[in-house]
């Protein structure tokens, strides 16, 4: 009973209006996408311009539209709570996306992704933490920026904060910085990718390396194309699996190594790993496993009339609701909280990951990064 | 004069906020698994209806 109660936040009713608003906004965004695509297919010039030149699909409509609405119209405060819970609806979408993959994809793309992840996560985290020490940045801010710029943005910052005893102000700076650069890259990278003729799978890998927040990188990859999304999700899953390890590394770097552990403070590393592990990816891997087993009764995304074919129609709507939540929650006022040294550190880390990540995916090429689903 | 209790409260505030945020992350993950399972079960029971609803019925054009 207690576990069931835990699923419901006290006062859950306050989330309903905002969530319904996001559902409505997602409905409008998806229908505008269908309208533009239909007219583009019919050869109407304005639709072709919007669809091909401006890349105005449902992702762009919901993100840009959401930002516009949030920062120009008076969005009633009663909607804010529900808007914040729309964003995580991307997670069931990612789980359902498991039907796109087989273990051969996980091994091939996942191995490359794992290698990229290890290099870029730990490389970034170590370099940022070292730079912070060198620049005299307080351990709290250095620790959370290292974790945040290395792993998964906001989640990593929140996971690491108590370990390094970051102050609320340092957390606000770090989160503001990560969100600012994530948003900047979300809106610039797809156009850069098109300009340099990056393949979809290469873009997917690039976005998974450079963009820190799961929702933002899924948005950028989905914006670019379906192959890009498939690659990005797989590499991102590999990356967020490392969240507990990065928290452990931060604990060692700032506390255990320097002997700053408080007297009587018991740190259970296993409990830390258990608490920080993102359990939703278990669902993703279960669906990959089921798809790989070729179970006749489940079929596959390409087998008309089968359960997996039906599920394949659902994930886009999960993403749409999530993107509606992202767009509507990007407040320019919040991003102004990014400031001071956190901003400089974030800028250096983001630029380095973006440029090095691009170089690496160009070297690796498309083949190793493409999800085939067979 | 600085309140000697204030600095003690800040780490606890961060820990409490982090604990609450992370228990909400676990809650999100649990709901994500429940929703995905629900969609899987509905898709097993009514594949064509689910497909038509999400690919056709929800669109006005």
- Burial (CB < 10 A; 0-12, 13-18, 19+), residue A9, is middle
- Give the pLDDT confidence score for residue A333 in this predicted structure: 73
Spatial contact of B10 and A168, defined as CB atoms under 8 Å apart: yes
- Give the pLDDT confidence score for residue A246 in this predicted structure: 66
In a domain? residue A134: yes
Give the number of beta-carbon pairs within 8 Å between A and B: 119
Closest CA to A233 of A221, A242, A243: A221
pLDDT of A248 higher than 60: yes
Cross-chain residue pair A276–B33, CB shorter than 8 Å: no
What residues in A contact B29, CB-CB < 8 Å? 91, 278-280
Mean pLDDT of A230-247: 77
SS3 track for chain A: CHHHHHCCCCCHHHHHHHHHHHHHHHHHHHHHHHHHHHHHHCCCHHHHHHHHHCCCCHHHHHHHHHHHHHHHCCCCHHHHHHHHHHHHHHHHHHHHHHHHCCHHHHHHHHHHHHHHHHHHHHHHHHHHHHHHHHCCCCHHHHHHHHHHHHHHHHHHHHHHHHHHCCCHHHHHHHHHHHHHHHHHHHHHHHHHHHHCCCCHHHHHHHHHHHCCCHHHHHHHHHHHCHHHHHHHHHHHHHHHCCHHHHHHHHHHHHHHCCCCCCCCCCCCHHHHHHHHCCCHHHHHHHHHHHHHCCCCCCCCCCCCCCHHHHHCCCHHHHHHHHHHHHHHHCCHHHHCCCCHHHHHHHHHHHHHHHHHHHHHHHHHCCHHHCCCCC
Q: How many CB atoms lie within 10 A of CB A333?
A: 9
* Chain B CB within 8 Å of residue A297 CB: yes
pLDDT of B58 higher than 90: yes
Residue A247 CA neighbour count, 13 Å, CB half: 30
Cross-chain residue pair A317–B36, CB shorter than 8 Å: no
In a domain? residue A15: no
What is the C-alpha to C-alpha distance for residues A360 and A120, in angstroms, rounded to an integer? 11
What residues in A contact B14, CB-CB < 8 Å? 161-162, 165-168, 171
Domain count, chain A: 1
In a domain? residue A29: no
Cross-chain residue pair A311–B39, CB shorter than 8 Å: yes
* Chain B CB within 8 Å of residue A4 CB: no
- Give the pLDDT confidence score for residue B27 in this predicted structure: 86
Cross-chain residue pair B14–A276, CB shorter than 8 Å: no
What is the C-alpha to C-alpha distance for residues A72 and A89, in angstroms, rounded to an integer? 25
Q: Interior CA angle at A212 toward A211 and A217, to 5°?
A: 50
What residues in A contact B21, CB-CB < 8 Å? 158
Residues B9-52 pLDDT 10s: 455 555 555 555 556 778 888 999 999 999 999 999 999 999 99
Spatial contact of A166 and B14, defined as CB atoms under 8 Å apart: yes
- Closest approach of A370 to chain B, Cα-based (Å): 25
Q: Among A15-19, A178-182, A325-329, whose mean pLDDT is lowest?
A: A178-182
Nearest to A92 among B23, B32, B47 (CB): B32
| CB within 8 Å of chain B, chain A residues 33-52 | 34-35, 38
What residues in A contact B46, CB-CB < 8 Å? 310
* Chain A CB within 8 Å of residue B31 CB: yes
In a domain? residue A208: yes
In a domain? residue A45: no
In a domain? residue A58: no
In a domain? residue A168: yes
- Closest approach of B10 to chain A, Cα-based (Å): 7
- Tokens representing A55 are 């890349």
Using pLDDT thresholds of 50, 70 and 90, give the confidence band for residue A103.
confident
What residues in A contact B25, CB-CB < 8 Å? 155, 158, 278
In a domain? residue A364: yes
* Distance from chain centroid for Cα A97: 14
* Closest chain A residue by Cα to residue B58: A27
Using pLDDT thresholds of 50, 70 and 90, give the confidence band for residue A125.
confident
N-terminal to C-terminal alpha carbon distance within chain A: 42
N-terminal to C-terminal alpha carbon distance within chain B: 68
What is the C-alpha to C-alpha distance for residues A337 and A332, in angstroms, rounded to an integer? 9
Range of the domain at A210: 90-369
Check residues A157 and A22 and name the one with the higher pLDDT.
A22
* Chain A CB within 8 Å of residue B18 CB: yes
Nearest to B29 among A89, A280, A313 (CB): A280
Q: Which residue in B40, B41, B45, B60 has the most chain A C-beta atoms within 10 A of its own C-beta, making it the best mutation to test that interface? A: B40
Nearest to A313 among B30, B32, B55 (CB): B55
- Tokens representing A180 are 């600012």
pTM assigned to the model: 0.76
- Closest approach of A299 to chain B, Cα-based (Å): 10
The ipTM, to two decimals, is 0.76
The secondary structure of B7-60 as a DSSP string is HHHHHHHHHHHHHHHHHHHHHHHHHHHHHHHHHHHHHHH-HHHHHHIIIIIT--
């Amino acid at each position: 009973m207690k576990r069931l109660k835990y699923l419901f936040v006290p006062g859950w009713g306050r989330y309903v209006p905002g969530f319904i608003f996001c559902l409505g906004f997602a409905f409008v965004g998806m229908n505008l996408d269908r309208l533009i695509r239909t007219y583009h297919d019919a050869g109407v010039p304005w639709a072709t311009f919007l669809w091909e030149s401006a890349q105005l699909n449902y992702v762009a409509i919901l993100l840009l539209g959401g930002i516009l609405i949030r920062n120009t119209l008076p969005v009633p405060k009663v909607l804010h709570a529900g808007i914040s819970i729309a964003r995580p609806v991307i997670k069931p979408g990612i789980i359902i996306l498991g039907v796109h993959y087989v273990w051969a994809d996980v091994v091939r793309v996942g191995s490359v992704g794992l290698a990229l992840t290890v290099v870029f996560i730990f490389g970034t985290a170590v370099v940022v933490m070292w730079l912070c020490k060198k620049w005299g940045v307080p351990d709290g801010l250095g620790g959370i920026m290292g974790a945040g710029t290395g792993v998964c943005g906001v989640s990593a910052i929140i996971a690491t904060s108590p370990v390094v005893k970051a102050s609320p102000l340092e957390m606000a700076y770090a989160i503001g910085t990560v969100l600012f650069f994530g948003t900047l890259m979300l809106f610039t990278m797809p156009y850069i990718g098109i300009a340099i003729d990056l393949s979809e799978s290469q873009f997917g890998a690039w976005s998974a390396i450079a963009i820190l927040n799961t929702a933002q990188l899924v948005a950028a990859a989905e914006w670019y194309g379906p192959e890009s999304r498939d690659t990005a999700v797989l590499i991102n899953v590999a990356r967020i699996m490392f969240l507990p390890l990065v928290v452990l590394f931060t604990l060692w770097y700032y506390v255990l190594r320097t002997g700053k552990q408080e007297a009587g403070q018991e740190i259970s590393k296993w409990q830390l790993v258990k608490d920080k592990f993102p359990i939703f990816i278990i669902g993703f891997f279960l669906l990959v496993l089921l798809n790989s087993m070729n179970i006749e009764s489940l079929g596959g995304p390409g087998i008309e009339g089968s359960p997996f074919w039906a599920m394949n129609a659902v994930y886009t709507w999960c993403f749409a609701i999530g993107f509606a939540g992202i767009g509507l929650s990007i407040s320019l006022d919040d991003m102004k909280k990014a400031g001071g040294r956190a901003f400089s550190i974030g800028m250096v880390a983001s630029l380095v990951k973006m440029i090095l990540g691009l170089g690496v995916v160009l070297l690796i090429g498309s083949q190793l990064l493409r999800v085939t689903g067979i | 004069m600085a309140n000697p209790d204030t600095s003690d409260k800040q780490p606890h505030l961060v820990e409490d906020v982090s604990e609450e945020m992370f228990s909400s992350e676990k809650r999100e993950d649990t709901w994500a698994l429940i929703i995905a399972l629900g969609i899987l079960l509905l898709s097993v029971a009514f594949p064509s209806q689910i497909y038509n609803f999400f690919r056709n019925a929800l669109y006005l054009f």
